[in-house]
Structure 1
Amino acid sequence: MLLVTAPAKINLTLEVLGKRPDGYHQVKSLFQTIALCDTLFFEPSGELEFSCTRRDLEHPGNLVVEASRRLQEAAGREQGARIHLEKRIPVAAGLGGGSSDAAAALIGLNRLWGLGWSRDQLWPVACALGSDVPFFLYGGTALVEGRGDEVTPLPALPRQWVLLLRPPIGEIMGKTAQLYAALKETYFTEGQHTSQVVARLRAGGAFDPSTVFNVFERVAAEVFPGLDYFRQQMAKAGAQRVYLAGSGPTLFTLMSQRARAQKAYHYLRGQGVEVYLVETMEARS
């Protein structure tokens, strides 16, 4: 049996530069994978079969199934696979779980079917699946631009503890579209926040948590009522700064000291909220 992990991600920066002629938004963002991972298991089979620890995700529209079919078509292969997804990353939480699962499916099937495709060969298939999928072929720390299809790997971020809180806010249909629609043009930037962090990483400098930036912070309260209460809970736990993860509603804070991070984690667990404590990860080998 072949096993491939699918890590979640946080956005250390997320800027919108404007709207593109094709209707998408031009973004500039710093992505970072974290050790909160789904796991995909692959076995040979005569047809494509998919199962998941969450039965509600076992449907033809799941990105793992879509990725499998697209790779099958692109490679001109008829063999199938038995794929099982062990789900740990919260769904629709702003952590890129579905996109990461899709990238892991491409990586796993590439090995299982003996395609021997390079990352460049998998790239067009990944791009067709969604904006975040190409990044997850790399993982680690990377600059992501365009509509998400321009990925530049960066030196690894100095290890950080990441404390995440997933508020009990139900899944919101069209969440990301609502966030983009709520953005005013005055919220657009020129990429300066991301450029500053990238330059520091390339120079080997220490990471400064105060440089974390997410444009969706400006409109998150409109889309996620009650989010501020959970920010306050994290502050009570000892978080100096609390950030929105991607398109939310997950919140996170960064800590360099393990003991302090564990103390905050146990406090929040005691409050009965869904919380995770993980480390940042390096790129895939």
Structure 2
Amino acid sequence: MKRSIKAPAKINLSLDVLHKREDGYHEVKMVMSQVDLADRLDLERREDGQIKVELSEGFLPVDHRNLAYQAASLLQKRYKNKLGVSIYIHKHIPVAAGLAGGSSDAAAVLKGLNELWELGLSTDTLADLGSEIGSDVSFCVYGGTALATGRGEIIKPLPSPPPCWVILAKPPIGVSTRDVYQSLNLDGSIREEYSDRIVRAIEYNDYPSICANLFNTLEEVTLPMYPEVRRIKERMKDSGVDAALMSGSGPTVFGLVKKESRLHRVYNALRGFCDQVYAVRLISDKEA
């Protein structure tokens, strides 16, 4: 038995870091939306109980350090399943990019093995399991667009944002999410929560308001730490996007473009500046 499943990337339309929690995580409020840049995972059921992971890109771990492996192992142990799986990941999402590629792969494994191993688990149960693997996995299980709170695992689905193009640009560097959060200085001051504004803008289908309220607390750490990210954001704004923001902890920057006639100019301007550039669309809730 085999299954093939897509694992889409995500962007953060907002990322408010509220405070540090007693458990060591940070309390966040963020709006995430999937885009149609995706890895593809081929899953094949094994009768020998082994979990085997292969990747089209050879520089990622294929053992317990891989989130897709962790997802299969968690399901296997939690439900005392004697079946195994061979997982082949066709990588298209850049690695360590702030686009939740690994988390989306893990979510795809949870959903695919739920069918392949005939576990009969609900989406909510799969999302709860995903939260044990990583903070973004729960969102990736649900997909579409959502407000995420807690440490990112409490998910409230939202309508699809107004349709637009998304330009992604990733510089040739990796960013450690752990390091960025550890370097974040939350001085105890009350911060405005942009996520609520983005939620309202989505509910009113208000594209200009979405563009006006894109916000990411982590930019105040990543942009000074990695000047390449700041330069890409500035280049993106200069090339004519409607709005630009860093996704997650970076280093990928995305720009929103409503008019397709402007899309090619932005894309070409960035391609001369950065190797990894993608023109994609937001995934609607009907596609998720």
Q: Same fold (TM over 0.5)?
A: yes
| Partner residue of 1:155 out of 159, 163, 170 | 159
Aligned-pair CA distance for 1:130: 0.6
- 2:211 & 2:26 partners in 1: Cα distance? 26
Kindly indicate whether residue 184 of structure 2 is the aligned counterpart of residue 198 of structure 1.
no
Partner of 1:209: 211
Asked if structure 2 preserves the Cα contact closer than 8 Å seen for 1:10 and 1:33, the reply is yes
Distance 1:187 1:180, change over 3 A: farther
Partner of 1:119: 123
Secondary structure class of the residue paired with 1:208? helix
Aligned-pair CA distance for 1:211: 0.8
Partner of 2:100: 96
Secondary structure class of the residue paired with 1:21? coil
Secondary structure class of the residue paired with 2:15? strand
- 1:191 & 1:106 partners in 2: Cα distance? 36
Distance 1:231 1:201, change over 3 A: closer
1:120-269 maps to which residues of 2 (within 5 A)? 120-169=124-173, 171-172=174-175, 175-186=176-187, 189-190=190-191, 192-206=193-207, 207-269=209-271
Distance 1:182 1:66, change over 3 A: same
Aligned-pair CA distance for 1:239: 2.7
Aligned-pair CA distance for 1:269: 2.2
Mean Cα deviation higher: 55-64 or 234-243: 234-243
Secondary structure class of the residue paired with 2:62? coil
Asked if structure 2 preserves the Cα contact closer than 8 Å seen for 1:166 and 1:250, the reply is yes
- 1:64 & 1:92 partners in 2: Cα distance? 15
Kindly indicate whether residue 85 of structure 2 is the aligned counterpart of residue 81 of structure 1.
yes
- 1:77 & 1:178 partners in 2: Cα distance? 36
Distance 1:273 1:196, change over 3 A: same
Residue ranges of structure 2 left out of the alignment (5+ in a row):
none
Asked if structure 2 preserves the Cα contact closer than 8 Å seen for 1:15 and 1:188, the reply is no
Calculate the TM-score normalised by the size of structure 1.
0.92
Which amino acid in the other structure matches residue 5 of structure 2? V
- 1:96 & 1:250 partners in 2: Cα distance? 11
- 1:2 & 1:130 partners in 2: Cα distance? 23
Identity %: 38
Distance 1:231 1:122, change over 3 A: closer
- 2:186 & 2:99 partners in 1: Cα distance? 25
Total equivalences in the alignment: 282
Say what the alpha-carbon RMSD is for the aligned residues: 1.9
- 1:56 & 1:217 partners in 2: Cα distance? 27
Secondary structure class of the residue paired with 2:72? helix
- 1:187 & 1:267 partners in 2: Cα distance? 40
- 2:247 & 2:189 partners in 1: Cα distance? 18
- 1:181 & 1:271 partners in 2: Cα distance? 30
Aligned-pair CA distance for 1:210: 1.2
Aligned-pair CA distance for 1:58: 4.1
1:60-71 maps to which residues of 2 (within 5 A)? 60=63, 61-71=65-75
- 1:177 & 1:103 partners in 2: Cα distance? 21
Asked if structure 2 preserves the Cα contact closer than 8 Å seen for 1:166 and 1:249, the reply is yes
Which amino acid in the other structure matches residue 53 of structure 2? F
Secondary structure class of the residue paired with 1:268? helix
Distance 1:104 1:189, change over 3 A: farther
- 1:190 & 1:282 partners in 2: Cα distance? 30
Asked if structure 1 preserves the Cα contact closer than 8 Å seen for 2:202 and 2:210, the reply is no
Aligned-pair CA distance for 1:59: 2.2
- 2:130 & 2:160 partners in 1: Cα distance? 23
What are the Cα deviations for residues 34-79 of structure 1, in whole angstroms up to 9, with x where unaligned?
Answer: 1110000111222322111012224211111111010111222111
Distance 1:30 1:114, change over 3 A: same
- 2:120 & 2:135 partners in 1: Cα distance? 24
Mean Cα deviation higher: 91-100 or 57-66: 57-66
1:9-24 maps to which residues of 2 (within 5 A)? 9-24=10-25
Calculate the TM-score normalised by the size of structure 2.
0.91
- 2:241 & 2:280 partners in 1: Cα distance? 15
